[in-house]
Structure 1
Amino acid sequence: MKSSTTQLISYIAPGAPATRRPATGAEPYVRPEVGFTPRWFHDSLGVDFSERWHADPAHRRDAISAMAHELRRRFPRHGIGGVADADHPVDLLTGAFGASAVPAIYGVPIRYAADLWPACEPEHLTAEQTERLEPPDLDVNPFFRDLMAQAEWIAGRVGRIEGYVSWQGVLNTAYRLRGEAVFTDMAMAPKRAEHLFRCVATTMVDAMRRLYAVQRDSGVDVWHVTVSNCLVNLVSPRQYRDLLLPFDRWIAWGRPIGIHNCAWTADPYVEHYATIPGVAYIDMGMDSDIAAARDAFPDARRAVMYPPTDVASKSREETGRDVARIADHYGPCDIVFADIEAGVEDARVTELFDLCEHVSHEHDARRSQGRRRR
């Protein structure tokens, strides 16, 4: 079933990087989304995020169950991770292979670690290899076939293939394939860069289409797309407009899209993002002009990426002022408290929820008073 709203919200499953999922329409004015690094779970429970966690859905199911129980034990008032039944988790897909799925389709080896998300080995394409690159045939691609086999296993054991693979974004994946040379290509050999971007975008859309089809057959209708533009601040607004925006628009065509801008400011790119049809979610860093972003995306669920360093170091009063400012200039919105490390006290995490709840109640009260005056 499709959500009753076209908005998307931030979603951090246990042990997974942040992604997006459909909103319910009942979100609070300021909604916190809290997530922890693999090291947090490794230090707390001994969860091993090496290759087996990503390649074996049965093993991952048991680990997710253990992580969900730990989150419920330590934060009983808050549904961190979104696991409704810790004994029987249904989303066994989100987090698998981290941000490395599309590079792995292109043959890039994945480097695993017990307490980290997977990373791509730096085996970068040469200029000649880039110019000859073609999108892989997913019917015979070993990595993609293994991923689809996981989906089939989940369907057989759980009945429904819930969750999301991180397909990342065009520039993110191009960087993992080509390395820093992709930025030189954009300036000096734009046709080469454009060819690489087209290959990546084609593979993203092909892989999404195939996975969404088997999910739909299992009763899960994944309709939205999400793109991660973590590296966009390394290119100029003109380069984004001319070389990357056309692919973001193509990926989004006809579907709600979530845009993960990630970096400290989205300001140089907001006017271009606003031309993408169906923006249902957008996030950005704390230094962005969030009031202008609210005007640019009045119908999207907006989110701020709150720095994990600020979670670790700021006082309650300082964070409270941040939350109030975000609510006043950007709400209704999410605040994404991602990548919380081991060493941050549980009381501090609970404090984040309390601050968001307090500000949400204040805004609800103001709206109620305004309606009574009318």
Structure 2
Amino acid sequence: MEQLCTHKLPVDIVFHPSWWNKHTGIVFDEDFFYNPLRRVEDERRMEQELHDRFGEYGLGADYDKDLPQIGAVHLAAGYLLSEMLGCNIEYTANSAPQVICAHREGFDVDEEAAFQSPAFKKLQHLIEELKAKYGYVCGDINWGGVLNLAIDLKGESILMDMIMEPEKTKAYFAAIARVVERFFTYIYSETKTTSISVNRLARLLDAPLYLHSECSHTMISTEDYHDYLLPIDVEWSMKYRPYGIHYCGKDPHRHAENFAKVPHLDFLDLGWGGDVHLLREALPNTFFNIRLNPVELNSYTRSELEGIIKERVMQSKDPYQTGICCINMDDKVRDEQVRAIFDIAEECRQTLFKD
């Protein structure tokens, strides 16, 4: 596959809903996600806020456009597939939708029912309304991950199932994977993208990324990943490219050997604390998106942040195979801290890597 990104060290950020609520007054109720008018108006308000504060870095470039975004592309919010599969969702003014664990027993997944659910019907109605007015739709919706969804449905009992009922658990994961695959291929058919809502840095790449969320893989052993979930990554990486894994936990390096077995792992979204050097040794051709810690960011001095970013960028080795992001910065983050991320990245481009 051709190079995933043709410019050096792309950078993007995502603010937590509390930041948006504080600075724009946007309320993240159910209407925000499903009302066609709100979808367009609120996304434009978000673009305007980014343009006004950080426009010199290219943020908020669509501030003067009404874009029919089907999903909240300025948030990190995975909830819809959980709702389609039977979980309840709680909405609050200044946070992302909260998935309530269904605590299901057994291993049944009604794949067709997910696409007949009220949740999916609401999405279809939204898309129809937007297309009727604008003639097209854009954006995407976070499609989560197989283990993430299994935990939403069954809670931590799924971890015991992997020990006690291995074959039933594998079939359960496969059924969830079929629902996920059907969902993201549907989204792609409508908008030609799937993963901006998983990580906004995806919008800066040269091809639309398929990004599988594996937030919960911090909870499982490398052996369990290999036996139960790696086969799904292997299959999807051969069918959907560029293919990536989103691993926001602090230990992505623990799974490096297994990640190396994915035939086409084009992108790795690696969590704060991940050993970049070790991962690069295992994955010499993978684009690394290095995540900064949004909580600790508030306490860093400029020089500390510079040291952190430069160290990890150097460990990744190739500026065309490396990006930087900070996701879910809350209402306590200061504008100068956000600007520092972009300024330090530019310093890296100019001083660490010269063509």
Same fold (TM over 0.5): yes
Matched, 1:350 2:326: no
Question: How far apart are the structure 1 equivalents of 2:40 and 2:257?
Answer: 42
Q: Kindly tell me: are residues 325 and 145 of structure 1, through their superposed partners in 2, closer, same or farther at Cα, counting changes over 3 Å?
A: same
Match of residue 242, structure 1, among 227, 243, 250: 227
2:315 is aligned to 329
Residue 258 of structure 1 contacts residue 282 of structure 1 at CA under 8 Å; is this kept in 2?
A: yes
RMSD over equivalenced CA pairs, Å: 2.3
Cα separation, partners in 2 of 1:294 and 1:45, compared to 1, 3 Å: same
3-state SS of 2:161 partner: helix
How far apart, CA to CA, are the structure 2 residues paired with 1:252 and 1:89? 34
After TM superposition, give the deviation of residue 358 of structure 1 in Å. 0.5
Q: Distance in 2 between matches of 1:91 and 1:323?
A: 35
The AA in structure 1 aligned to 2:51 is R
2:87 is the alignment partner of 1:111:
no
Moved more, 68-77 or 171-180: 68-77
3-state DSSP class of the match of 1:69? helix
Instruction: Tell which deviates more after alignment, 102-111 or 144-153.
Output: 144-153
What is the CA-CA distance between 1:335 and the residue it aligns to? 1.4
Q: CA deviation at 1:49?
A: 0.5
Answer whether contact 2:248 2:272 (CA < 8 A) is retained: no
Matched, 1:88 2:72: no
1:177 to 136, 153, 166: 153
Partner residue of 2:255? 269
Partner SS state of residue 196, structure 1: helix
Amino acid in the other structure paired with 2:232: F
Match of 1:309 in 2: 295
1:158 aligns with 134
Q: Please show how residues 58-73 of structure 1 align to structure 2 within 5 Å.
A: 58-73=37-52
Flag the 1:277–1:156 CA change in 2: closer, same or farther, 3 A: farther
CA distance in 1, matches of 2:329, 2:339: 12
1:197 positional shift: 0.9
1: CA distance, partners of 2:188 / 2:340 = 38
For residues 91 and 84 of structure 2, the distance between their equivalents in structure 1, rounded to whole angstroms, comes to 16
Q: Distance in 1 between matches of 2:26 and 2:246?
A: 27
Distance in 2, matches of 1:36 and 1:139, equals 30
Give the SS at the match of 1:75: helix
User: How far does residue 161 in structure 1 lie from its aligned partner after superposition?
Assistant: 2.2
The whole-number CA distance in structure 1 between the counterparts of 2:240 and 2:303 is: 40
* C-alpha distance 233-214 of structure 1, shift in aligned 2 (>3 A): same
Paired residues, what number?
337
Counterpart in the other structure of 1:253: 238
8 Å contact 2:140–2:187 — kept in the other structure?
no
The offset of 1:115, in angstroms, is 0.4
Q: 1:146 aligns with which of 122, 128, 131?
A: 122
Gaps of 5+ in 1: 8-22, 217-221, 368-374
Give the superposition deviation at 1:223. 5.7
Identity, % of aligned positions = 24
1:223/1:255 contact within 8 Å kept: no
1:312 deviates by 0.6
Change (3 A) 1:148 1:274: farther
User: Match of 2:134, as an amino acid?
Assistant: V
- In structure 2, relative to structure 1, the CA distance for the partners of 1:149 and 1:252 (3 Å cut) is farther
- 1:362 partnered with 2:347: no
Distance 1:252 1:62 in 2: 36
Equivalents in 2 of 1:44, 1:224: separation in Å? 30
Residue from 274, 281, 300 that aligns with 1:288: 274
C-alpha spacing 1:79/1:245, structure 2 compared with 1 (3 Å): same
Deviation (angstroms), 1:185: 1.0
Tell me the TM-score normalised to structure 2 length. Answer: 0.88
Tell me, in whole angstroms, the C-alpha distance in 2 between the residues paired with 1:148 and 1:223.
Answer: 22
CA contact (8 A) 2:101 2:151 kept: no
Report if aligned partners of 1:106, 1:136 keep a CA contact under 8 Å in 2: no
Quote the Cα distance in structure 2 between the aligned partners of 1:108 and 1:294: 38
1:43 to 10, 15, 22: 22
Shift, 1:93, TM fit: 2.4
SS of corresponding position for 1:336? strand
Residue pair 1:139, 1:145 contacting (<8 A) in 2 also: yes
Contact between 1:40 and 1:341, CA under 8 Å: does it hold in 2? yes
Quick one: distance in 2 between partners of 1:286 and 1:32?
15
* 1:38-57: CA deviation from partner (whole Å, max 9, x where unpaired): 11010111100011001113
Query: Counterpart of 1:334 in structure 2: which amino acid?
Result: G
- CA deviations 1:58-77 (Å, max 9, x no partner) are 21211111111111111231
TM-score, length-normalised on structure 1? 0.84
327-336 or 95-104, which deviates more: 95-104
CA offset at residue 156 of structure 1? 2.9
Aligned equivalent of 2:202 = none
